[in-house]
Every structure is written in C-alpha cells, then in structure tokens.
Structure 1
Amino acid sequence: MNTAATLPDPPTAPTTSVAPSSAAPAPAAPAVPVAPPRPESADDSRPFGAHLRMSWWKPLVIIPVLLIAMFVLQIVLVLVVMIIEAALFGRDPRDLTISPLMMLATNLSLAAMGPLAVLAMALIGRVPWRRLLASPRRMSLRRTGVYAAAFSALVLAALGVMQLIAPASTGLTSFALTGTTVGLLVVALLTTPLQAAGEELMFRGAIMPAAASWVRAAKPALVLGMVVSTILFGLVHMSVDPWLLSYYTLFGLCMAAMAVISRGLEAPIAFHVSNNLILMVLGALFAGGEGLVIDRSVGMGGPFMLVFMVVDVLAVALVWLLERRRTAAEVVA
C-alpha cells in the first residue's frame, strides 16, 4: 500500500495587521502673499540729472520743503547774529556789512541744505544718498581735486583780466589786515566750501532730478530738470539787477551742464567752491579792514559781468574735454 509522505508546511512570516490611521493629512499652509519688488529709484540708462524715478507728488513736496528750509534757516541765523552783535558790540541793525559772525551764519545755513537735501530725498523720494552725488559711478575725491585746481586757475585769470580792463568792478583797491579781516578769512576758508557744496547738493543733486522725474522721456526730462533748478537758483539770489540776475542764472545752468556731462557733482562743487572761496578771500583782504559789502541792487552789475559769464562757459567746455579724455582712456584700458 503506497503511502504519501506528508511534509510539514514551510514556516510563514508572522503577519501584523495595521489598523488604518484615523488622522487626516495636514492641510497645506496657506501661501503668504509676497509683495512685488520695489522698482529701483535710479535708472542708469538715463543721463545724470534725469536718472531718478519717483511718484509725481514727491517733487511737489521735496522742492518747496527745501526752499522754505533754506530761507527759514538763513533768516533765523542772521537774526540771531544781529541780536548778538547789537547786544555785545552795539551794531546798528541798518548796517549791511558782513561781519565774520554774519558770514558764519550765512554759510552754515546754506551748508545745512546739503544734509537736508539728502535727508529729504532719502525719506520722501526713497533715493540712496550716493545716487545724489554721482550715478552710476561713485563720487571721486581725486576728480574733485583735479577740477578744483583747474577752475581756481581759470577764476584767477579772469580776475586778472578784470583788474586790467575794469579795476573798479573788482573792488581790489584798499588792502588792509585787521582782526575783522582775519576773522573773515578764517570763516571763509572753513565754511565757504561747505556752503558751496550744500547749494550744489540741493539744486543739482536733489531739485534737478526731482523735477526731471515728472517726465518719462529722458531728454525732455533732463531739459525740464535743468530749467527748473536753474531758474530757482537764479531767483534765490534775490537780485533785481538784470546783469547780476543773468549771471546767477547762467551760473546755475553751467553747473547743471557740468553735472550732466560728468554724471556727478564733483565738477560743479569744485567750480562753486573755487569761485566763491577766491572771491571771499580777496574780498576780505581788500575790504579796507572792515566787513564785506555784497550789494545786489539795480546798477551793481554791468557789461563787465560778461567776463565772469565767459568763465562759466569755459569751465563747462573744460569739463567736456576732460571727461571725453577720461572716457577715451578707459576704453583703451
């Protein structure tokens, strides 16, 4: 009788039953809305002076604020000096001569406009402060020094010509060295560069590009910015003499042209400092030992101002030549 061998069943792995989880999958976290990146406040493809972009209302705030601040600061500081000098030295309030303390007050009030312009453009216009000095490059102190040396020679040459053809117009007639003279020289040397730089930062660094931001096309924007800043610069000097008013207006236009050509404020700051510092130093030395007298009333200008106007235009031509040489050298390098 055949019997079948019975083999044991193979061992089986123990099975574990997994109970279905009763926890539902976690819901996805809601997407956090991301604000679009704020557009750059400066456009390097546009010329300096029309390189900033801001909302249309911001220049309507920035420009009046700067102009009002300039007049308020100047009036307040000058009144404080008049009160001090009247109390301590018995100065007549009708005396219009500029003492060392009066020059200090005037220069500091204008020098303060540089930081105020930077602050206004940063807080209201959201513009980085470096963009007010030069764009797209960085500001160069070496470039400023080169321009200052060249412009100083140009201004001194113009004064030499004026002394030959119209010596009465220069006022370089009564040399004297007194305590007042020394005070004027010290104040001029220490604060006149700050005063000139403050004006350039305000008018060419802030007002010109702020006004230009109203127009989208680059060239019309640049023209608008230069015209607005130039007219305001001429008017704030408060001269009703046609020759002097023309000179201040042309001066502002030439400073704007220098800034556009060089894409920065080095050239206009250097010329403004050189011009004002030389005139203040010579004015102090030849004031007969007294305070300075700056008269901008009708009749104080004349055809002799054409010499200074030619100097302004020559300075612009010099900037154009030097910047053209610098650009050619960079291309070769």
Structure 2
Amino acid sequence: MTVRALEGTAPEEAYAGPPPTVRPAADQPVPGPPRQEAPAEQPEPAPPTPYLLAMRTVGWAWWRPVAGFALIAFLLAVGFVLTRIADLLTGTGADLDPVPLTWRGLLVTGLLLALALPAVLLAWPLVHGVGPGRGLSVAGRLRWPLLGRSTVLALATVGVAVALGVAGAVLLAGREVPGPVPELPWVLVVGLLTAPLRAAGEELLFRGYLSQAVAGWIGRPRVGAAVAALVSAVLWAALYGTDDLAGFVGRVALGLAASAVVLLTGGIEAAVALHAVCGVVVLVLGAVLGEGAVPGLVPGGPGAVFVLVAALGLAAFVGLVARRGTRS
C-alpha cells in the first residue's frame, strides 16, 4: 500500500461516551433493581426427647425392658451368690441391714449394690442396641460439672438437715450415743469409697432404667413421670425393709426427691449426688457417734422428727436444683 493511500484513510474518531437515553414516558414504569428473594426460614430444631422416654426412640418394643430386667437380675443374682459365699467363708455379715457397721460388711454389700451400675450399662447395648449414654442423661453422657455442683448443693441442704436431725435426736430426745464403732478408720475409708458407687448403681437402676421402663410403657410424659417416681420410690424403699415405718417413709421421700431432680435435669447426676451425700453423712455420723445415735440406722426414738427435718432438706435441694437447672 502506498503512502498516498494511507493519507486518504479517515482518522479514527475519539470516544464520546455512551449515547444519550430517551426519557421514559410518564405512564411507563421505571425498572428498579432486581428484587432479592427472602432467604427461606430454617426450621427450628426439634426439642430433645425427655430422659424418661429415651427407650421410645430406639426401636421401642414392650418386651425390651423386660429382657433388660432379666439380664440385670441375672447379673445381680450372680453377685448375690458370690456375696453369700464370701459371707460363709469370712463371716462378713454382708446384707442390706446397715447394723452393725463393719468395714467388711460395707465392702461386700457396697460392691454388690454397685454391681447394678455395669449391669444397667450392659443392658442398653445388649437389649436396646444403643450405647449406654441414654441411661445417663439426655446428653448421652455423664455431665460431671452438674454432678459436682449437685454434690455441693446436697451437702449444703440435705447434709446439714440430716446432721441437725441427729443432733436433735441426741440433745433434745436423749437418744443413746454408744460411741465410735470398732475399727473406725477402716469403716470410714471403706464407707467413703463404696458409698458413691453404691448410690450410683442404685440410682441408675431405680431412677434410671426402672423409671425409663415405666414411663416407656405408659408413653405419656407427665403421667409416666409421676407413676415412675412413685413406683421407683416405693420399690427402692421396700428393698431395705418396711418394719420401721419412719425409716420407710424417709426412704420414699428420698426416692421422690431423686425422681424430681431427674425430671428437672434430664439425667441421674443430681439424684446420684443426693443419694451419695445422704449415705455418706449417715455413715459418718453412725460410725463416729455409734449406730444407736442415728435414727436412719436404728429404728426407735424421734424417727418422725428426724424424717421431717430431712424432708425439709430434700425440699430445699429440689428447689435449688429447679432454680439452677442444668447450668454448669
């Protein structure tokens, strides 16, 4: 291409911006920004299944609790036979009667009742096909902070009430104080070691598996909880005998309070703490002052007054647990 041809080419025009737009008519709608659709609302999470109805969520069948009780009874029967053999060979005197307080009797009896703990934990996977956590709490595990806090509350309420009841029985009613039991240090050591295990086993069996089975059979939360509380309290109290009416009523009251805190917290932690504190306080007072000084160990004397004072402590404990709930 020649230079002349290049000179004849029109020069490029400079950019003058976008072309002007026409003003829309008065009756013509002006398009706005694209409308954004509101995000879809997330459904609220379903509330957790109540603790007492846990069996209803894992392939419920009426016969499963029956099979579970059969397994638990078999394991406890094996432990009972071993206890009888140990009693015959060593003369430990191991039975559910708390008197006399001996470290050998406390050891064998405490371990026998503590056997309910692994028995119930085995019943869940073998009979219900799930882990044992459902028998502990709605969280599927043992909530240690709640257990520790409940122990402090139980000591400040029920522990103090039981001590005041014993003091009133000794000072105001002239109840006999025989003095420390033989082998006091060993009795205290063995008692303090086995009492919490014994309480955990009994609560897991009565306020845990038994209450969950009764509530599962009924299927209605409120009615099931009420019936389960009454059944578990009466059966547990009857386990220790019905000869002493005041002692029987006191144990029923303790069982009802334990069922109340199970319902409030959705687990057995507060019930275990309550049971363990009552057992330890009665044990220590009975070992130091003598079995005859504690109405909870030996019938007779101001048993009704002792039960009344202890009931006030139980009511205070339940009230504090209801106020704080499951907060750590």
Q: TM-score range with shorter-chain normalisation?
A: 0.7 to 0.9
Question: Normalising by the residue count of structure 2, what TM-score does the alignment of the two structures yield?
Answer: 0.72
Is the Cα–Cα contact under 8 Å of residues 163 and 170 in structure 1 kept in the other structure?
no
Query: How many angstroms apart in 2 are the aligned matches of 1:279 and 1:170?
Result: 18
Cα separation, partners in 2 of 1:250 and 1:155, compared to 1, 3 Å: closer
Partner of 1:207: 210
CA offsets per residue over residues 39-67 of structure 1, 9 Å max, x none? xxxx9644222232221112223335535
Which position in structure 2 is the counterpart of 1:58?
A: 64
| Structure 1 residues 64 and 236: alpha-carbon distance in aligned structure 2, compared to 1, 3 A threshold | farther
Deviates more, 1:296-305 or 1:234-243: 296-305
- CA distance, structure 1, for counterparts of residue 175 and residue 184 of structure 2: 15
Q: What is the root-mean-square deviation in Å for CA atoms of aligned residues?
A: 3.3
Deviations 1:217-272 (A, max 9, x none): 32222223223222221221222222221111121111111111011111111111
Name the counterpart of 1:250: 253
2:313 to 311, 314, 321: 311
The equivalences for 1:72-91 within 5 A come to 73-74=79-80, 76-85=82-91
Structure 2: stretches of 5+ with no match in the other structure: 1-45, 94-98
Q: How does 1:66-145 map to 2 (within 5 A)?
A: 66-67=72-73, 69-70=75-76, 73-74=79-80, 76-85=82-91, 97-136=100-139, 138-145=141-148
Q: 1:171 to 1:319 in 2, by over 3 A?
A: farther
Q: Contact 1:47 / 1:222 at 8 angstroms: preserved in 2? A: no
Q: 1:302 aligns with which of 301, 304, 316?
A: 304
In the alignment, structure 1 residue 284 sits paired with structure 2 residue 287: yes
Instruction: Name the CA shift for 1:305/1:68 in 2 (closer, same or farther; >3 Å).
Output: farther
Helix, strand or coil for the counterpart of 1:50?
Answer: helix
Q: Which residue of 2 aligns with 1:218?
A: 221
Q: Which moved more, 1:100-109 or 1:210-219?
A: 210-219
Q: Report the CA distance shift for 1:109/1:286 in structure 2 as closer, same or farther (over 3 A).
A: same
| Structure 1: runs of 5 or more not aligned | 1-42, 90-95, 328-333
SS at match of 1:124: helix
**When the two structures are superposed, what TM-score results if normalisation uses the length of structure 1?**
0.71
- Relative distance call for 1:83 and 1:296 in structure 2 (3 A) is farther
What count of residue pairs does the alignment treat as equivalent? 274
Displacement of 1:277? 1.1
2:175/2:301 contact within 8 Å kept: no
Post-superposition offset of 1:159: 3.4
Rounded Cα–Cα distance in structure 2 between residues aligned with 1:201 and 1:285: 30
CA contact (8 A) 2:236 2:255 kept: yes
Question: Is 1:259 the equivalent of 2:262?
Answer: yes
